[in-house]
Chain A
Amino acid sequence: MRDVAIVAFAQSPSVRSDTQRNEVEILMPVVAEVREASGIPKGEFDFICSGSSDYLAGQSFAFVAGLDAVGAWPPVSESHVEMDGAWALYEAWVKIQMGYADSALVYGFSKCSLGDLPEVMAMQLDPYYQTPLWPDAVSMAALQARQCLETGAVTAEQMADAVVRSRANAKSNPNAQLSGDVDREKLLAEPTFVSPLHKHDCSPISDGAAAMVLVAGEKARQHCERPAWITGFAHIMEPMDLGVRPLTESRSTAEAARRAGVDAAKLDVAELHGPFSHQEILLEQAIGIGSSTDVNPSGGALAANPMMAAGLIRLGEAAARIHDGSAATALGHATSGPCLQQNLVCAMEGR
C-alpha cells in the first residue's frame, strides 16, 4: 500500500436552509479554500471525485454542475459516486493506490432543505414493498431506537448524554448548526417527536458542502505541516431490510473497523456519523471506543448533517485534529442507508 495523507480539508457552514445560494455556489468557496490550503493550483490535481444525490437536488445529473465549481478546464480525470463524499474519498484513495494519481481533490455537497427530507428518504427503500408505505427516515430510526431501548443495548440516558456532548462540543465549531449547553434531565423530559425519539435525538436538516485533498508519499509534507496519514480504509454494506439484520449492533461498522486495522484502545479522536443519538452509541460500541477517546469533538452529525457531505466532514474533522497536533491517531466514520446500513471507516495518524 502507498502512503497517502489528507493534507487539507474545508467545509461550508451547515445551515438549515441556504435560500441565497445553489449547490455550486455553496461549493465554490469551499473548493477554493481547500485548494489554497493545499497549495495545489487548479488543474494540477491528478484526479477529482465527488459525492452527491440527484434525489436531494430533485433533478437528474445534479452532480454535473459540480464541475463548474471545480473549473474542469482543461478537461480533468474525474469520477462521481451517488454516495456520501466519504466514498468519493475512498475511490480517490484507490486511484492513488493503483498508481494512476498522486494527488486528488474530493468533495461532497447537498441542499437537504429543498424537499421534505424524511419523506424523500423513503424513496431509498424497496420500491415494490416498502416505499409505497412511505416509512419516513425518522420513523425507521425510531423503530431501531425502540429495539435498542427494549433490549437494553442503549439507554435513554446514554442517548441524552450523546446530545449533551454534541451540543457542548459544537460550541467550538463555527460550522455547526446546533450548539449550546443542554441538560440531560431537561432533554429526557421533552416530549417525544417520533417515539422513542425526541427532536434532539435527530440530526438537523442541513445544507452544506465539504472538500478535501489527498497527496501520496513524502510529497504530502510539502502541502501540509502535519499530514493525516491514512493507515486503514474500509467500508461494508449490510442488507437493507430491517428484518434480516440485527439493529441493536452495527456489524458492518465493526467489520470495517477491523479491516481498517483500528486499535480502539489507541484512538485519540473518533468522528462518528450517527444521524440519530442512539446510532452514535451503537457506533461507539461497534468500534469498541472507550473513555480515553474524544468522540465527535466537532459535535458530529447531531450538530449538523448536510447529507452527502456529512460523512466526508467526519473524516475531515478527524484529519483536522491530526493537522493541528491535538491528536496522534484519529478515526473518521461515514454512514449511508436506513438505520446504519452501510458504513465506512478511515483510520489515520500523524507522524
Chain B
Amino acid sequence: MAELCGVVGIGQTEHRAARTDVSMAGLLREAAERALEDAQLTWKDIDAVVIGKAPDLFEGVMMPELFLAEALGGAMKPMLRVHTAGSVGGSTGIVAASLVQAGIHDRVLCVAWEKQSESNAMWALTISMPFSVAVVAGAGGYFAPLIRGYIRRSGAPDDTGIRVALKDRLNALKNPYAHLQIPDVTFEQIEQSPMLWDPIRYLETCPSSDGACAMVLSSERLAEQAPTRPAWVHATAMRSEPTMFAGRDQVIPRASLDNAKALYEKAGITNPRQQIDVAEIYVPFSWFEPMWMEGMLFAPTNEGWKMTYEGATAMDGDMPINPSGGVLSSNPIGASGLLRFAEAAMQVRGQAGEHQVDGARKALGHAYGGGSQYYSTWIVGSDKP
C-alpha cells in the first residue's frame, strides 16, 4: 500500500569536536543546503521538515526545533521533532520517509544533528533522579559490561575490537567529512591507547562531535526526475524494548533480532550477508561491530567476531561495514543514525567517493540507542523495490 520513496538529496557537515564557526542554525543549514544542492532543489520545494536529535540537555535548549524552524525553511510548513534516544537519526529518516510513503507529502527534508560543544553530554547523562540508579559513567561505562558479556559468551579473541577500530579509522581517512582522521594509524597505536572502560580503549571509542546530516526524500514521480539517481527505500523497521528487567538479554537484545527479521521480511531478503552489498552499522565502541553482525543476523550466534577477524567487514570483504569510518570516526549523536542511513544511500547512488564500495546496489543503514533497546534500520537500493 505504501507509495515508493526515493532519497534524492544528501548533505552532511564537516564533523568536528567544536564547530565554533557556526551557530546551531548555521550547522543545520550547512547540511540542509548541501542536501538541497545535491537534489538541485530550493527551500520552496520542500513540503515538510522532520528534525531529530538526542536529548535536549545535550545543547541546553528545550525543543530546539521551535527556534530553528525559520532557519530550516519550516515557516508555514508542517514540522515534526523525533527523539528515540541514540537511534533517533534513523527514526528521523523513517518518519520523513513515512510522510512520503503515506502519500501525504511529495518532498520532505529531514535533518538530524547534535552540537555537543554547546553543553556537556556527560553531565546531561549523569543527572541523578530520585529512586533510580545514576549512570555516572557515561555511555562507555554502561556498554563495557555488555561487551564483556559478549566476549565471555562468544570466546572472541581479545584483539577483535582493535581490529574493528583499525579498519574504521583507516576507512575514515577516505571520508573528508569524518571527525577523527588519524593518518598512519596502527594496530599497536590502538592497542597502547589508554584503557577507558575495560575492554574499551581510547581509540576504540567514538569521539564527541558537532555535526548534522540532512536528506531530501521524494515521491516516486518526483524522484524519477531527480538529477542524480535516487536511492529507493525498500524497507524500514523500528523496535523498542524496556531498559531493564529480569531475563532481558542486553548483549544481543531481542528487539535487535526482531527488528532485523521485520526489516528483511519487508525487503524480501532471505540471506542478508549475500543479498546486501554494504552496511553502515551504529558502532560507537569497536566491539559493537561483531555484536551487531549477530544482532542483524549477518552471522550466526557467537560468530560475529569471525567476520571482523577474517576481514569480511573490510571495504574489500564480502560484507563491507562502515566504509565511511562509522560512528567511531564521527559521533554527532542525534545525527549519527541519519548518517548511517545517508551513507547507505550514498553507496547505492554511487556518491561515496573514495569510500565507495564497487557495484553497491543494496545497502543497509542501522542505528541503535538507549540501553541497547531502541533500533531503527532501513534498506535502500539502486533499483526500485
- What residues make up the interface of A, taking CB atoms closer than 8 Å to B? 1-2, 22, 48, 53-55, 58-61, 63-65, 67-68, 71-83, 87, 90-91, 94-95, 97-100, 120-121, 123-128, 130-131, 234-241, 244, 251-252, 255, 336-338, 341-342
Contacts of A55 in B (CB 8 A): 56-57, 62-63
Q: Interface digits, B52-85 against A, CB 8 Å rule (1 contact, 0 not)?
A: 0011111111111111011000111111111111
Q: Interface digits, B200-236 against A, CB 8 Å rule (1 contact, 0 not)?
A: 0000000000000000000000000000000000000
Q: From known contacts A58-B127, A252-B76, A255-B76, infer whether A337 and B66 are also in contact, taking CB-CB under 8 Å.
A: yes
A197 to B1, CA, bound (A): 51
B239 interface residue, CB < 8 Å from A?
yes
Are A342's CB and B79's CB within 8 A? yes
> Chain B: which residue is nearest A59 at the CB level?
B127
Among A73, A80, A123, contact of B60 (Cβ-Cβ < 8 Å):
A123
Are B370's CB and A78's CB within 8 A? no
> Chain B: which residue is nearest A241 at the CB level?
B70
B185 interface residue, CB < 8 Å from A?
no
Instruction: Give, as a whole number of angstroms, the nearest-CB distance from B366 to chain A.
Output: 16
Instruction: Give, as a whole number of angstroms, the nearest-CB distance from A26 to chain B.
Output: 15
Main secondary structure of the interface of B (DSSP, over half): loop
**Listed residue (B1, B24, B80) with the most chain A CB atoms within 10 angstroms of its CB:** B80
B255 interface residue, CB < 8 Å from A?
yes
Q: From known contacts A61-B370, A236-B77, infer whether A83 and B243 are also in contact, taking CB-CB under 8 Å.
A: no
B360 interface residue, CB < 8 Å from A?
no
B347 interface residue, CB < 8 Å from A?
no
B38 interface residue, CB < 8 Å from A?
no
> Chain B: which residue is nearest A22 at the CB level?
B131
**Listed residue (B59, B102, B125, B248) with the most chain A CB atoms within 10 angstroms of its CB:** B102
Q: Which of B93-101, B169-177, B336-344 contacts A (4 or more CB under 8 A)?
A: B93-101
B23 interface residue, CB < 8 Å from A?
yes
Are A94's CB and B98's CB within 8 A? yes
B385 interface residue, CB < 8 Å from A?
no
B2 interface residue, CB < 8 Å from A?
yes
B129 interface residue, CB < 8 Å from A?
yes
Are A87's CB and B80's CB within 8 A? yes
Across the A-B interface, give the 7 residue pairs with the lowest CB-CB distance, nearest first: A99-B1, A60-B55, A97-B102, A75-B255, A239-B70, A55-B62, A98-B102
Are A127's CB and B24's CB within 8 A? yes
**Listed residue (B60, B62, B82) with the most chain A CB atoms within 10 angstroms of its CB:** B62
Are B70's CB and A74's CB within 8 A? no
